Amino acid sequence: MQLITLPLSPFGRKAHIVALEKGLDLEIVAPPSGLDPSVAAKNPLAKVPVLALATGDALYDSPVICEYFDTIGNGALLIPTGDERWPVLRRMALADGIMDAAVAARQESIRPDGERSQAFMDKQRQSIVRSVDAAAGELQSFAGQLRLDSIAMAVALTYLDVRHPGIDWRSRAPELDRWHAEMEKRPSFAATKPAA
């Protein structure tokens, strides 16, 4: 299996961490950009990550890839079954939403002068801050167990550090900060740490 992703993509990192936690062998392939034809040929949305399967089929987007890894991999389920499933998926959506807003704000910030919208970037930043506060408010619900929600949230916070160092989420949420620091020590996180 090949995971086609970009080095700083938080969605790709989340999927890669899930594969490592589930003991799966994965080849990481980095296209020159998300718009590379090699990506669009497998995912018409032209976004990474894309999982290229040995059958020639491809899977996207990252929640689908993560659930696939959870299904075929070893060890405890990262997406539980039964009633516990839904809050885990909701919190993963919260973390993915932080990533979406952070990626959108970053892309807007590098548009040429005159084309950039401060209002758009402010809206994304407000969404990020509100969502970090919400995550901090329910930290006890996901801190205790390694699941898809905790993996996604830790990845989202690291992506903020890399792309939005001006968003001081740590002083807003010191307990989230302590938990995040422990998550980043896991071998799967250390092996996928984005270069600053």
Ligand X SMILES: N[C@@H](CCC(=O)N[C@@H](CS)C(=O)NCC(=O)O)C(=O)O
**Interacting residue ranges for ligand X, rule: CB under 6 A:** 6, 9, 11, 34-35, 46-49, 61-62, 96, 103
CB-nearer residue toward ligand X: 24 or 46: 46
* Closest approach of ligand X to the CB of residue 78, in Å: 16
CB-nearer residue toward ligand X: 96 or 149: 96
CB-nearer residue toward ligand X: 15 or 176: 15
Burial class (CB in 10 A: 0-12, 13-18, 19+), 144: exposed
CB-nearer residue toward ligand X: 34 or 176: 34
* Closest approach of ligand X to the CB of residue 178, in Å: 27
Closest-approach residue to ligand X (CB): 34
User: Of 139, 133, 180, whose CA–CA distance to 156 is shortest?
Assistant: 180
Helices (H), 22-84: 37-40, 62-72
> From CA 36, how far away is CA 103, in angstroms rounded?
18
2: which strand partners? Answer: 27, 52
| Paired sense of beta strands 27-29 and 2-4, if any | parallel
* Closest approach of ligand X to the CB of residue 21, in Å: 18
* Closest approach of ligand X to the CB of residue 128, in Å: 15
Tokens 């590098």 correspond to 110
